[in-house]
């Protein structure tokens, strides 16, 4: 009988963006791969896709219907492994799979950044911590993507069968890579920029956490100090309009390009000079890893995910807090010393290749999957 795995998350784009290499790996092992999430994207490496009405808000009544559908899907299929992602996907799948686990199904959950962490608001600890600790008892393997979350889960004795640390979701370092000087000039011109434009890049949803407003205020300080500096902001979201209005009120609209949703980030990054990151909370930010893979140094404000990747004077610069003048000063420092900028960028790319590439992360995950596959075979043989 063919082994089957079910992937579950809030939205199906999550799998398109982060998990196709792993899904392909399972197909290559001869497994059937099913997906349960909200959305109608046609996913490769997928045998059956279930569109269930999961909503991000835990208070949405649609999640009750999503739970019922998910429970039926699980009970009607003999899954060897269920791997869930995102807070709501993880919540619903682990509750819906309790009966299946008693029959031998292995339940994996990847925490893409706990909402409770050092310095998190007290309500986050009061709400999310007890939920995740309770659900850990219904988890055979808890995967964490940064050291702080791993240490937290171990220290607080989460009751998962095993707790593992992996290096994120992986970055395709053949797709995201630097280009030579001639190609860079051509690309820069094709996007409408001058050869001497100094380009800062940030790709993120426009929301409160990603904090693009900080970067806009910082940019306003650079108008006189860094000639031809431009901030490229890729993404959409609820706060896009307010950020555009802020740029206008600060008199820097001509220095900011709001790029919207882009499918050519791998082409945009190599023409830029620095990646910037201003979010309050990160698990392990893919936007930073992609920038580093393209040879860009990163200037970021310290948080759990940023400090995992950005090391001052090695792969970029990590600021202790949201100090506009200090952030602007580091940008100016890099604009004045292009040699240092390039050196740090090369160190960053090597770090991504050595530890965070899709190949490395897939190898990490496949070893973990195989250990549970072998465990299941051993149990079956014993019976």
**Domain spanning 181-356: which CATH class is it, in words?**
alpha beta
- Backbone φ and ψ for 20, nearest 5 degrees, come out as -60, -40
pLDDT at position 210: 97
| Structural contact between residues 233 and 258, judged by C-beta atoms closer than 8 angstroms | yes
Q: How far does CA 104 lie from the centroid of its chain?
A: 30
Calpha distance 24→367 (Å, rounded)? 15
Closest to 198 (Cα-Cα) out of 31, 341, 95: 341
317 phi, psi to nearest 5 deg? -150, 130
pLDDT at 53: 96
Q: Do domains 4-170+358-382 and 181-356 have the same CATH topology?
A: yes
pLDDT at residue 381 in the model: 40
Taking residue 102's Cβ as centre, other Cβ atoms within 10 Å add up to 8
Per-residue model confidence as pLDDT tens digits over 133-186: 999 999 999 999 999 999 999 999 999 999 999 999 999 999 999 999 999 999
Question: Measured between alpha carbons, how far is 34 from 59 in angstroms, rounded to an integer?
Answer: 27
Higher pLDDT, 51 or 117: 51
Fold held by 4-170+358-382: Rossmann fold (3.40.50)
Domain-by-domain residue ranges, the chain?
Answer: 4-170+358-382, 181-356
Q: What percent of the chain has a predicted confidence (pLDDT) above 70?
A: 97
In the sheet with 106-111, reading across from the earlier edge strand, the strands are 48-51, 32-38, 4-11, 81-85, 106-111, 141-144, 162-165
Q: Give the model confidence (pLDDT) of 262-278 as tens digits.
A: 999 999 999 999 999 99
Going by the DSSP 8-state scheme, the letter that residue 176 receives in this structure is S
377 has pLDDT over 90: no
């Amino acid at each position: 009988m063919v082994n089957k795995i079910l992937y579950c998350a809030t939205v199906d784009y999550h799998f398109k963006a982060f998990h196709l290499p792993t899904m392909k790996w399972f197909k290559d092992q001869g497994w059937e791969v099913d997906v349960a999430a909200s959305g109608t994207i046609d996913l490769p490496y997928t045998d059956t896709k279930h569109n269930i009405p999961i909503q991000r808000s835990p208070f949405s009544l649609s999640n009750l219907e999503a739970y019922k559908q998910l429970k039926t899907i699980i009970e009607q299929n003999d899954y060897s492994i269920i791997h869930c992602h995102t807070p709501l996907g993880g919540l619903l799948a682990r509750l819906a799979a309790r009966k299946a686990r008693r029959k031998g199904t292995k339940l994996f959950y990847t925490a893409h950044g706990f909402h409770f962490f050092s310095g998190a608001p007290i309500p986050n600890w009061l709400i999310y911590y007890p939920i995740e600790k309770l659900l850990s008892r219904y988890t055979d393997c808890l995967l964490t993507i940064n050291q702080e979350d791993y240490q937290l889960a171990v220290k607080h004795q989460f009751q998962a069968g095993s707790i593992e640390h992996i290096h994120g979701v992986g970055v395709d370092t053949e797709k995201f890579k630097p280009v030579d000087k001639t190609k860079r000039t051509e690309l820069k011109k094709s996007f409408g920029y001058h050869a001497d434009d100094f380009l800062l890049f940030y790709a993120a949803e426009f929301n409160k956490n990603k904090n693009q407003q900080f970067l806009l205020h910082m940019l306003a300080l650079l108008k006189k100090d860094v000639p031809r500096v431009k901030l490229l902001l890729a993404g959409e979201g609820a706060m896009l309009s307010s950020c555009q209005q802020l740029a206008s009120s600060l008199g820097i609209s001509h220095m900011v390009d709001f790029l919207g949703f882009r499918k050519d980030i791998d082409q945009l990054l190599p023409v830029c000079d620095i990646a910037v990151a201003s979010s309050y909370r990160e698990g392990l930010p893919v936007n930073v890893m992609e920038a580093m893979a393209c040879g860009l140094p990163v200037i970021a404000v310290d948080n759990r995910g940023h400090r995992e990747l950005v090391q001052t004077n090695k792969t970029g610069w990590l600021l202790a807090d949201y100090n506009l003048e200090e952030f602007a000063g580091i940008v100016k420092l890099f604009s004045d010393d292009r040699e240092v900028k390039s050196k740090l960028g090369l160190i960053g790319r090597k770090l991504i290749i050595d530890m965070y590439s899709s190949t490395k992360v897939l190898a990490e995950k496949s070893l973990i999957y195989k250990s549970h596959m072998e465990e299941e075979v051993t149990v079956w043989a014993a019976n």
